[in-house]
Amino acid sequence: MAGINSANRGRLKDNPLSGTVALVTGGGRGIGRAIAQRLATLGASVAICGRDQKALEDSAASLEKQGSRSFFHVTDVTKAAEVAELVAKTEAALGPITILVNNAGIGLFGPAHERTETDWDRVLDTNLKSVFLVARAVTPSMIQRGTGDIINISSLAGRNTFAGGGIYCASKWGLMGLTGCMAEDLREHGIRVSVICPGSVATEFSGREQKNAAKALQPEDVAHAVEAIVTQKPGSFLSEIQLRPLRKA
Ligand SMILES: NC(=O)c1ccc[n+]([C@@H]2O[C@H](COP(=O)([O-])OP(=O)(O)OC[C@H]3O[C@@H](n4cnc5c(N)ncnc54)[C@H](OP(=O)(O)O)[C@@H]3O)[C@@H](O)[C@H]2O)c1
């Protein structure tokens, strides 16, 4: 199922992303929703995807309220055919994608030796393989146009290890490697590939309780880091941002 809404009032001089098209995976809630909202505020047309149609409808309605052209498509980003359809339909609805935010992800914690093969596949497919699939679908047109921003949402768990983090850390460490190599492959084509590594963010992620939600990062903090990346002057790029709350929870 797909939906589009119109009313592009965002072509004001102070909208630095006016004329751009962003795709945010997992834009229906949490960090992805905050990123989608921020990009819309900056003037981008924004497409979002996820598996929960209701959440997507709600998020897209909120984008529309900001005057953004928006598009949503129910998509499981672990499935190549669904990803290909997502990208084709987004480009048909809004135009060529200039900003891709690979945000969709799941958390699953506990000693790796106690988890199942299905657990491994679910986490690795969602957090790592999906980035390969979506970037692979989006880059040909970016290469053709010689420009683009790809931002992967990793985690401090992609730089650190901790008890019970085995499968999640494996997915995010893998994502760090993929991001670095993609950045090298694509920089000569004018495409900037960046990674953001947030610490704990106050969302519904993995259904876990925050130790102290008031001291955790907020989704808007991650959106702010995305803003910094996409508004960086041409000719340079913020390759990695590590994001921590000021006060420890
Ligand atoms: N929250 C934290 O503490 C934290 C810290 C560091 C990094 N991160 C990373 O930030 C990203 C967003 O996390 P969050 O905190 O916003 O979590 P969240 O609230 O659980 O949101 C996760 C999003 O990913 C989407 N998603 C999951 N599996 C998907 C699939 N197979 N296909 C399409 N969409 C899928 C979900 O949509 P549907 O359920 O509708 O599919 C949802 O929109 C993740 O990559 C996570 O690893 C989170």
Contact of 123 with 78, CB cutoff 8 Å: no
Contact of 68 with 8, CB cutoff 8 Å: yes
Contact of 66 with 15, CB cutoff 8 Å: no
Higher per-residue pLDDT: 158 or 248: 158
Q: What is the pLDDT of residues 67-103, one digit of tens each?
A: 999 999 999 999 999 999 999 999 999 999 999 999 9
* Mean pLDDT on 19-41: 98
What CATH number belongs to 2-8+16-243?
3.40.50.720
Q: Is the pLDDT of residue 10 over 80?
A: no
Q: What is the pLDDT of residues 174-218, one digit of tens each?
A: 999 999 999 999 999 999 999 999 999 999 997 666 667 778 999
Task: State the average pLDDT for the chain.
Answer: 94
Q: Is the CB of 198 under 6 A from ligand 1?
A: yes
Sorted by sequence, the CB contacts under 8 Å of residue 203 that are 6+ apart come out as 29, 30, 31, 219
Phi-psi sector, 42: left (phi>0), alpha (psi -120 to 50), beta:
alpha
DSSP state of 208: P
AA identity, residue 60: A
Our CA dihedral for 127, 129, 135, 137, rounded to 10 degrees, sits at: -130
Question: Which is catalytic among the residues 71, 72, 109, 168?
Answer: 168
- Residue 212 pLDDT: 76
Q: Is the CB of 28 under 6 A from ligand 1?
A: yes
Q: What is the pLDDT of residues 226-240, one digit of tens each?
A: 999 999 999 999 999
Q: List helix spans (H) across 5-105.
A: 30-41, 53-65, 80-94
Q: How many Å apart are CA 160 and CA 183, to the nearest integer?
A: 21
Q: Is the CB of 55 under 6 A from ligand 1?
A: yes
Sorted by sequence, the CB contacts under 8 Å of residue 84 that are 6+ apart come out as 137
Q: How many Å apart are CA 204 and CA 210, to the nearest integer?
A: 10
Distance 117 CA to ligand 1 centre (A): 21
Q: How many Å apart are CA 147 and CA 98, to the nearest integer?
A: 7
Q: Are strands 70-74 and 45-50 parallel, antiparallel or unpaired?
A: parallel
- Residue 210 pLDDT: 66
Q: What is the pLDDT of residues 140-179, one digit of tens each?
A: 999 999 999 999 999 999 999 999 999 999 999 999 999 9
Q: How many Å apart are CA 64 and CA 203, to the nearest integer?
A: 23
- Residue 1 pLDDT: 42
Q: Report the atom number in ligand 1 closest to the C-alpha of 127.
A: 45
- Residue 206 pLDDT: 77
- How far from 72 is each of 14, 55, 238, CA to CA, in Å? 26, 10, 28
Q: Is the CB of 58 under 6 A from ligand 1?
A: no
